[in-house]
Structure formats: structure tokens, C-alpha cells
Amino acid sequence: MKTDDLVSLLATGLTPVPRHAAAQRLALALAVGLAAGMALMVLGYGIRPDLAEAAGQPMFWVKLLVPAAIACAGLLATQRLARPGVSAGLSWLGVLLPVAGLWVLGAMVWQAAPAPARPALLWGSTWTTCALGIAAFSLPTFAGALLALRSLAPTQAKAAGAAAGALAGGLGATVYALHCSELAAPFLAVWYVAGMAIPVLAGALLGPRCLRW
């Protein structure tokens, strides 16, 4: 077979990929993951009964908006890395800066607190379940994002998996915040970040295996 004939045969039946395929598939994963995470939280844990009162406290919004910002940055990074030869660019800053800000705030509160009060600020009353709860609520989005990436063309599998983990971890922490009663900045800086880090590390480990062409 001649080379030209072979090329023509391989090209037969090819159709262009929709322009916004990555955004659409990741948006579907995000919507399904959010709905499933909310269902898990409501059925397994329950929304905190004093949510309206808690919403009047600034730290409640810090607890809610920091993970949401990380989820948005993770979505942007995942969308970019879903395309071959495209790097995450500055998207990682959107993940790292909210974490750094939370660490700074936690350190300031820790430093200003009297020594006897510091253990309660760090451990709270739910440290044994917080990180695992966030990781559990991130699972639906994590699985959906990896499935979406498998149908696309990431060439940096490890980074793409980690970005999917950041998306899922941020969303899981946002959902968990509607149940959690902890508001101390040191607690959030340690246990919320740990919970979000679990799917990021899982994505970095699973990416090369799950997203291999």
C-alpha cells in the first residue's frame, strides 16, 4: 500500500472534536460530583442546624470560600491539562495562594492566642473525622473528573490527576463546610488542607495509571 493511500485510510471517518469538549465534560463531572457530595453530606452527616447563625461570622465564609477558590483553580488547571501539550500555567497559583493565605491566618491566630487556648484552636472537636470526611465528599467529583480526562487527551498525566484532585478536594471541603462547626483558623489551616491534599496526592499517583493513552 502506498503511503498516500495509508494516510487517506487512516483519516477516513475522522470528525473534529467539539471546541469546548473539555469544559463540557468537566462541567458535567462537576455538577454530578457536587450533587453526589451534597447527598452524601446530607444523608450521612447533615447540615449544621445553626447554619443561618454561623453565616453571620466571617470565619464561616473563610471556611467556605477558600476551598471554593481552590476548586475553581483546580477546574481551570484540569481543563487546560486535558488538552495535549498545554500546561497548567498560572492555574496552580490559584490553588496555592488560598492555602498560603489560610496558613498565614492560622499562624497569626495561633501566635496571638494564649498558650492554654492553643490546643483547642488546633484540634477542635472533630479533627479525627474532618480530613477523611472532606476526602470522602470529594470522591464523586474525583471519579468524574478522571473519567472526563480519560475521554480527552492529557499528556501530563501526573499533573492532570493532581489538578483533578484539587478540583475534587476543594469541592469536597466546600460541601463539608456546610456540616462542620469548626471555625478556628489553625484548625482549618491543618485539617481542611490535609483533607484537600488527599485527593491531590491520589490524583498524582493515579494519573499516570488511569490517564495513560
pLDDT, tens digit (0-9, with 9 covering 90-100), for 166-207? 999 999 999 999 999 999 999 999 999 999 999 999 999 998
14: in domain: no
* Helical segments of the chain, H only: 3-11, 21-44, 51-54, 58-81, 91-112, 118-123, 127-150, 157-177, 185-187, 193-210
All cell numbers assigned to 113 = 492566642
pLDDT in tens, 110-141: 999 999 999 999 999 999 999 999 999 999 99
Q: How far apart are CA 76 and CA 98, in angstroms?
A: 15
Q: How many domains does the chain have?
A: 1
Residue identified by cell 447527598 is 39
Q: What CA–CA distances, in Å, run from 16 to 11, 83, 211?
A: 11, 14, 21
Residue 1 lies in a domain: no
Asked if residue 9 belongs to a domain, the reply is no
* 145, three cell numbers: 473528573
Domain with 172, as residue range(s), is 21-83+90-108+123-210
Stronger pLDDT, 75 or 1, i.e. the higher one: 75
- Mention every residue, 6+ apart, whose C-beta is less than 8 A from residue 127: 187, 190, 191
Answer yes or no: is 118 within a domain: no
Query: Considering only CA atoms, which of 133, 39, 34, 41 is closest in space to residue 75?
Result: 34
The pLDDT tens digits of the residues spanning 134-166 come to 999 999 999 999 988 888 878 899 999 999 999
Reported pTM: 0.87
For residue 98, being part of any structural domain is answered with yes
Is residue 205 domain-resident?
Answer: yes
Residue 15 located in a structural domain: no
Q: What are phi and psi of 82, to 5 degrees?
A: -70, -15
